[in-house]
């Protein structure tokens, strides 16, 4: 939201898009509507391929993500990673809110990168060196719209079933996929699973293609 606020101040015609996984909290839709009203921006909504979602649910059930790490990654792949890839294939650059302090995986994020995973387009991370406190100070100073779940203790918000409030002393991303331990708290949008986890996701994707 801080980036969106800055961008709207620089260029009223800025484009903003989001991925609707089909499992978002109601408060996320409320925020999207508030953004459109307050900034005069039409939020472009990207959806997963309904056939892939139907095949996954038919084979593994609606809550496949609780079964194992590879099955959670499969759900993220279908609902988030692939829709994003399709969207980015139409763009020359994109801007994200990645910050180095968010997790170990993000510690080396640069402000300007070549996104090789998405056709070598430009990827801008202008808040890479910002702290959470600096983001909060900016949002308060400029009265930036705030996701309602932050007031309930959430620190990182994704799909409803996969996100919970963060307890005192926990890592910022501890509320994401909280039932998993000793794994990377990433969905695959910015950092892909490696090794055995990646191979298992590929196998699960192949099973869906066979089933459909």
Name the helix (H) or strand (E) containing 26. Answer: helix 26-39
The secondary structure of 42-81 as a DSSP string is -EEEE---HHHHHHHHHHH-TTGGGT-HHHHHHHHIIIII
Residue 133 CA to residue 51 CA, distance in Å, equals 42
Of 75, 159, 162, 187, which is the active-site residue? 187
Tokens 């995986």 -> residue:
105
Q: What are 44's strand-pairing partners?
A: 17
* 76 given a catalytic annotation: no
Q: Is residue 97 within 8 Å of 110, Cβ to Cβ?
A: no
The DSSP secondary-structure symbol of 123 reads E
Q: Is residue 166 within 8 Å of 155, Cβ to Cβ?
A: yes
Tokens 């609902």 -> residue:
79
The DSSP secondary-structure symbol of 108 reads T
Catalytic residue positions, numbered: 187
């Amino acid at each position: 939201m801080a980036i969106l606020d800055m961008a709207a101040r620089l260029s009223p015609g800025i484009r903003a898009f989001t991925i609707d996984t089909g499992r978002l909290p109601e408060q996320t839709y409320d925020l999207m509507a508030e953004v459109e009203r307050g900034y005069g921006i039409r939020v472009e909504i990207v959806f997963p391929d309904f056939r892939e979602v139907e095949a996954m649910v038919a084979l593994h059930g609606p809550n496949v993500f609780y079964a194992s790490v590879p099955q959670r990654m499969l759900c993220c792949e279908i609902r988030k990673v692939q829709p994003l890839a399709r969207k980015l294939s139409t763009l020359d650059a994109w801007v994200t809110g990645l910050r180095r302090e968010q997790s170990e995986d993000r510690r080396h994020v640069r402000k300007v990168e070549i996104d090789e995973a998405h056709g070598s387009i430009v990827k801008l991370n202008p808040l890479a060196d910002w702290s959470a406190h600096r983001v909060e100070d900016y949002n308060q100073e400029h009265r930036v719209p705030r996701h309602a779940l932050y007031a309930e203790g959430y620190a990182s918000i994704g799909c409803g079933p996969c996100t919970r409030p963060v307890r005192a002393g926990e890592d910022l991303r501890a509320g994401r996929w909280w039932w998993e331990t000793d794994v990377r708290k990433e969905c695959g949008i910015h950092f892909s699973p490696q090794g055995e986890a990646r191979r298992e996701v590929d196998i699960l994707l192949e099973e869906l293609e066979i089933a459909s």
